């Protein structure tokens, strides 16, 4: 959220610390209010099509020793984050946990990494900033991009202008941990195609699909990292490009689509930053399994359970998904993206994707 | 193995097919001889310090229906691979499995992906070529490189010259599926540093370690892909650079070091292509846990079992490893790379790595 109309994360963190200071000065017991983060306080926003928190809040207060220690840890962490932002540095969640061992007060040190992770989530929610604004890096970085797009990345070593076809190897452009360091310069793209598996991503690049169809191919690498979801959202919103998601045809892959499009319960406070509700599912649909007579595997018990729980999931309560999931429960089969190779290595790029993109009105 | 003194993989594959043809013509039953691939026929070569096959061989013969079908599948696969190499195309192991459904003879189609994977391994061993020579791509691609190295990658879209600091974003240069498409042009590097975790790789890059110490930082991403091991070997051999491996301090990470340095049982036929026996282990050593007083976790039962089995593993039968593993069993503790952050975010680059590199004679 480092666009110009959002407040400085340093001010937002400082405001939190000042709030504790004022509470002390007024003779109040210091406290911090955060939305209750249980499943019952997370709602699916039918208008925005993403997960958001409900109205219930919890209060962390210094009335108890453990509550006081929580706030102490919060102030030490705010101090560290302010210094880190000031110095233009960054760290991982795991480093923060270990780093607390160097703090002078034993009571301020974290007992487990769950505790420090959870505090950073609290600070994201209360300050309205994101982990990326605090310069906290994930352990696992984003995936890659290949397509007709020129961008400028602000690195610690200066700016880098990179064309995501002409200036990269076959591996593509590696998405940095914080994609908000990127400016999109110019592009010849007609749409964004997010792809689940590396095998299919490589197939599309080898067949020159990104060149022939002016597609920006984003490799999701299974369940996508935050950086991958963030850049997908920015590509869609800022370049005004239709965005489609191409995965295996099984319930776990539908969840990958769901996390790109609608966000996840865990990151409900970040849905507007990470989710792309306009992203459409291109396939593999259960209908494709039938129509293209694809090689299949039988559904396992856990596949069936996952499909049934998707029927109850508000994100999948559309005519499209109900029809597809019921068809899949009926045929009791699933297919992988790469099963399209049973029609030859060019079938996916010559036939399947063009047909689907045409049906969906993208081409 | 696409160096100039190795034979053309097409000729090697064709020779196999010709052998079947000659056997038919001579009225012999067609057959193919491969080294027996059981644990008892894999030996640790004490001179070369890598795993190699022993002398025992098995014969696939068309005397039985199932044996005849195996050879039939081999000829169809050889035909496909020859065509693929001819056309400059490539495919994944999974695509090969699905693709066999399009072959005209039902008996030539693979029953499972294990069957097609295993046939490709047979063909690697018998022909002396590698999967990469056959243009078979892995599902998961290699990791990234950051350092003072300029290279030329031969892509399907022409040559790309890339400097692995100046022409890439903070994510680094993405290693392609087949790193033998790369030529190293020039470099200012003093050594190669392979790093297990993304968090530590990002720390080194953020702290400018690659610039200050002229290090080529290779991200292993846990257990490294073939492409990552291959490029590490090439960096060591062709650029004559000392190579060190930096992982967590636990038995699973010692195995990561082992796969970089000595190869694995599964890829014993490729040890000379993938393994870097000269690579040294920099840490985290159990000795570091004690000397630097690092934050630790207790060893689990499976950690203890893994350490004990490493004591029996010929790869770890050196004074160094016996001493370190026995020390670890004694202190009953393990530490992660990132636990060095308990001494501050710069400790790893200002103190730990320079001290260790100096002790090892690399600096």
Look at residue B360 in the predicted model and tell me its pLDDT. Answer: 96
Q: Give yes or no for a cis peptide into B284 (omega within 30° of 0).
A: yes
Assess if residue A188 is contained within a domain. yes
Q: Is A167 exposed, middle or buried (0-12, 13-18, 19+ CB in 10 A)?
A: middle
Residue A204 and residue A247 in one domain: yes
As a whole number, the mean pLDDT across chain A is: 91
Domain boundary among A137, A159, A176: A137
CA pair distance A247, A264, nearest whole angstrom: 18
Tell me: pLDDT of A40 over 80. Answer: no
ipTM of the complex: 0.88
Say if residue B355 is in the same domain as residue B218.
yes
Contacts of A141 in chain B (CB under 8 A): 171, 198, 202
Pair A199, A324 in one domain: yes
**Structure confidence at residue B22 as a pLDDT band (50, 70, 90):** very high
3-state SS of B178-200 is CHHHEEEEEECCCEEEEECCHHH
To the nearest whole Å, the CA of A159 is away from the closest chain B CA by 9
- Test mutation, B169, B174, B199, B289, chain A, max A CBs within 10 A: B169
Query: Which tens digits make up the pLDDT trace of A87-112?
Result: 888 999 889 999 998 899 999 999 99
Residues B285 and B170 reside in one and the same domain? yes
CA distance A139 to A231: 17
Same domain, A276 and A340: yes
Contacts of A177 in chain B (CB under 8 A): 170-171, 202
Which residues of chain A make contact with B174, given a CB cutoff of 8 A? 144, 168-169, 171-174
A98 in the same domain as A165: no
Residue B52 above 90 pLDDT? no
Q: What angle do CA A112, A118, A121 make, to 5 degrees?
A: 150
Provide the pLDDT for residue A2.
42
Terminal-to-terminal C-alpha distance of chain B: 31
**What is the set of active-site residues of B?**
98
Q: How confident is the model over A221-272, as pLDDT tens digits? A: 988 999 999 999 999 999 999 999 999 999 999 999 999 998 877 777 788 8
Residues B101 and B181 in one domain: no
Tell me which of B107, B137, B167 is where a domain ends: B137
CB contact A295 to B (< 8 Å): yes
pLDDT tier for residue A204 given thresholds of 50, 70 and 90 = very high
A115 and A45 share one domain: yes
List the one residue out of B340, B343, B342, B332 whose CA is nearest residue B308. Answer: B332
pLDDT number for residue A187? 97
**Residue A211 within any structural domain of the chain:** yes
Is this model's pTM higher than 0.95 or not? no
Please check whether residue A345 lies inside any domain of the structure.
yes
Q: Which of A31-40, A325-334, B116-125, B213-222 has the lowest mean pLDDT?
A: A31-40
- Other Cβ atoms less than 10 A from the Cβ of B282: the count is 23
CATH code, B156: 3.40.1360.10
User: With the CA atoms of B179, B180, B185 and B186 taken in that order, what torsion angle do they form, in degrees rounded to the nearest 10?
Assistant: 60
For residue A340, is it within any domain? yes
Q: Flag whether A1 is in a domain.
A: no
pLDDT range class, residue B1, cuts 50, 70, 90 = very low
Whether residue B1 is contained in a domain is answered as no
A98 touches chain B (CB under 8 A): yes
Q: Which residues of chain A have a CB within 8 Å of the CB of B199? A: 92, 94-95, 137, 139
* A139/B199 CB distance under 8 A: yes
Q: What tokens does B125 get?
A: 């061993």
Name the E strands within chain A. Answer: 31-35, 42-45, 50-53, 57-61, 91-92, 136-137, 144-146, 149-155, 158-163, 173-174, 182-187, 191-195, 215-219, 243-246, 280-283, 297-298, 333-334
Residue ranges of alpha helices (H) inside B294-352 are 301-312, 319-331, 347
**Do B242 and B322 share a domain, yes or no?**
yes
What's the residue count for chain A? 363
Q: What is the pLDDT of residues B177-204, one digit of tens each?
A: 999 999 999 999 999 999 999 999 999 9
Looking at chain B, which residue has its C-alpha nearest residue A341?
A: B99
Q: Tell me: do B154 and B114 sit in the same domain.
A: no
CA distances to A13, A25, A59, A128, B127 from A19, in Å: 10, 10, 14, 15, 72
Q: pLDDT-derived band of residue A6, with 50, 70 and 90 as boundaries?
A: low
Q: What is the pLDDT of residues B303-321, one digit of tens each?
A: 999 999 999 988 898 999 9
- Quick check: is A112 in a domain? yes
A167 and A98 co-located in one domain: no
Locate A348 and state its tokens.
């996916």
> Which segment of A26-30, B141-145, B162-166, B248-252 scores lowest on mean pLDDT?
B141-145
Number of domains in chain A: 2
Interface of A with B in 7-36 (CB under 8 A): none
Q: Among A44, A76, A98, A173, which one carries the catalytic annotation? A: A98
Given B137, B155, B187, the domain boundary residue is B137
Q: Collapsing DSSP states into helix, strand and coil, what is residue B49?
A: coil
> Which tokens go with B273?
């292509």
A176 contacts A135 by C-beta, under 8 angstroms: no
On the question of pLDDT at A193 being above 80, the answer is yes
Q: What is the pLDDT of residue A5?
A: 53
Restricting to A residues 171-190, those with a Cβ less than 8 Å away from any Cβ of B are 171-177, 181
User: Is residue B6 very low, low, confident or very high in pLDDT (cuts 50, 70, 90)?
Assistant: low
Distance of CA B223 to the CA centre of its chain: 9
**Residues B253-274: what's their mean pLDDT?**
86
A18 is in an annotated binding site: no
Contact B230, B179 (CB under 8 A): yes
Same domain, A155 and A133: no
pLDDT at A208: 96
Determine whether the interchain pair B171/A142 forms a contact, defined as Cβ–Cβ distance below 8 Å. yes
Domain that residue B295 falls in:
144-359
Between CA B154 and CA B180 the distance in angstroms is 9
CATH number at residue B40: 1.10.10.10
For the segment A180-198, the average pLDDT, to the nearest whole number, is 96
Report the sign of the C-alpha dihedral through residues A103, A109, A112, A117, in that order: negative
Continuous segment of H or E residues that includes residue B51: strand B50-53
Q: Is A110 on the interface with B (CB under 8 A)?
A: no
């Amino acid at each position: 959220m480092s666009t110009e109309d959002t407040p400085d994360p340093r001010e937002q963190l400082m405001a939190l610390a000042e709030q504790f200071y004022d509470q002390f000065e007024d003779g109040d017991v210091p406290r911090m209010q955060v939305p209750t983060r249980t499943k019952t306080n997370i709602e699916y926003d039918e208008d925005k099509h993403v997960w958001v928190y409900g109205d219930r809040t919890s209060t962390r207060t210094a009335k108890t020793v453990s509550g006081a220690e929580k706030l102490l840890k919060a102030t030490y962490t705010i101090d560290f984050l302010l210094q880190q932002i000031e110095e233009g540095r960054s760290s991982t969640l795991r480093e923060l946990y270990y780093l607390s061992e160097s703090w002078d007060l034993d009571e301020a040190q974290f007992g487990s990494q769950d505790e420090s992770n959870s505090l950073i989530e609290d600070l994201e929610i209360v300050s309205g900033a994101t982990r990326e604004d605090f310069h906290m890096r994930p352990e696992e970085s984003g995936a890659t991009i290949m397509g007709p797009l020129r961008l400028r990345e602000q690195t610690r070593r200066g700016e880098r202008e990179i064309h995501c076809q002409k200036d990269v190897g076959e591996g593509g452009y590696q998405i940095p941990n914080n994609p908000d360091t990127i400016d999109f310069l110019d592009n010849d793209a007609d749409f964004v195609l997010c792809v689940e598996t590396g095998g299919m991503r490589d197939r599309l690049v080898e067949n020159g699909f990104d060149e022939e169809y002016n597609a920006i191919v984003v490799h999701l690498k299974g369940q996508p990292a935050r950086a991958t979801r963030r850049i997908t959202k920015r590509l869609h919103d800022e370049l005004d490009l239709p965005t489609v998601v191409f995965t295996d045809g099984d319930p776990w892959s539908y969840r990958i689509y769901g996390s790109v499009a609608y966000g996840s319960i865990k990151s409900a406070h970040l849905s507007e930053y990470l989710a792309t509700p306009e992203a459409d599912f291109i396939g593999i649909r259960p209908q494709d399994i039938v129509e293209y007579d694809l090689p299949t595997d039988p559904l396992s018990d856990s596949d069936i359970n996952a499909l049934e729980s998707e029927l109850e999931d508000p994100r999948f309560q559309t005519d499209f998904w109900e029809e597809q999931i019921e068809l899949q429960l009926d045929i009791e089969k699933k297919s992988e993206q790469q099963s399209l190779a049973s029609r030859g290595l060019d079938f996916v790029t010559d036939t399947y994707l063009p047909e689907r993109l045409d049906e969906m009105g993208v081409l």
